[in-house]
Amino acid sequence: MSITFDAAIADIRPAPAICALGSARPGFRGRIRGLRAFESGGLPAEEIERRLLELGFVEGAQVEILHQGLFGGDPIAVRVDAATIALRRREAAAILVEPLE
């Protein structure tokens, strides 16, 4: 399991309410604090992490959930800086975010 964490910020502040993007509702806005990829869809954690990174889910990027599907609110459409990416909640669970006011 690979964990990358924005350690500097986690140290000085009282732990902000970090949650997984996969469980957030439409309208949620936040900033990516880390990726905690796990094996999914027959792919190893490392590969999931690389795919998320390639689509711009990098620490520090700002995200917003724009839309969700009809069945089980899945998949979700996420604004990542200037791009919109569709993904399933399963994989979005690997993206750790800190809510923005």
Residues that bind other proteins (CB under 8 A): 2, 4, 40-43, 46, 48-56, 58-61, 66-72, 74-75, 77, 79, 81-88, 90-91
Q: What SS3 state is found at 74?
A: coil
Closest separation in Å from C-beta 101 to other proteins: 15
Cα gap 43→21, rounded to integer Å: 20
Question: Among all chains, which residue has been given the structure tokens 């902000």?
Answer: 16
Closest separation in Å from C-beta 14 to other proteins: 26
In the bound state with other proteins, the residue whose beta carbon lies nearer, of 14 and 61, is 61
Q: Which helix (H) or strand (E) holds 60?
A: none
Angle value at C-alpha 13, between 83 and 78, nearest 5 degrees: 15
In the bound state with other proteins, the residue whose beta carbon lies nearer, of 19 and 50, is 50
In the bound state with other proteins, the residue whose beta carbon lies nearer, of 10 and 47, is 47
